Amino acid sequence: MSNLSLDAEALYTELRSGVQALWRPGMAMMGIWSGGAWLAERLAADLPDLLGQCRPAVISSTLHRDDFSARGMASGTDATKIPFAVDGAHILLLDDVLFTGRTIRAVLNELFDYGRPASVTLAVLVDRGGRELPIQAAFAAAKIVLPASQTLALARTEDGRLTFSIEDQA
């Protein structure tokens, strides 16, 4: 277990400020299942004037992953729910942790199954480095470096509070 401690609630406050700075009228919000969806849901509740009548979308990377042999078919295969037209939309995409970039690539493939957005802007709670693909967040509440042997996972308590755990992989 790592000695590094991340205050997910404090980082959420930073993310909320970053999202407000990135937001443009007419944008749509989309969270990557599951951590990014939690963030989008909470941002929608905390910033109701931002989204107006449009609910945030949820998108899953499961069907477009390139690492089935290592990860298997995770739950969330039916998690994608997009309550707005993707064609021509300016989308703010949210995720909890940006690492290799492979989840974002898979999500973009899933998104294009629904249409062609005008733009996609990425905001994340934590950028942990280690990119394998040329993907960059427009906003990250924190940037940290962890060894590839460690995982950083966002969790949500029953009362909606966010927490991080850092664990060594076997």
Phi, psi dihedral angles at 102 (to 5 degrees): -70, -35
The 3-state DSSP class for residue 36 equals: helix
- In whole angstroms, give the CA distance from residue 119 to residue 110: 15
In CATH, the number for domain 8-67+74-168 is: 3.40.50.2020
* Domain-wise residue ranges, the chain: 8-67+74-168
Rg (CA), the chain: 15
List per-residue pLDDT tens for the chain, 170 residues long.
Answer: 456 779 999 999 999 999 999 999 999 999 999 999 999 999 999 999 988 888 999 999 988 888 755 555 555 556 899 999 999 999 999 999 999 999 999 999 999 999 999 999 999 999 999 999 999 999 999 999 999 999 999 999 999 999 999 999 86
According to the model, what pLDDT value does residue 50 have?
Answer: 86
According to the model, what pLDDT value does residue 1 have?
Answer: 47
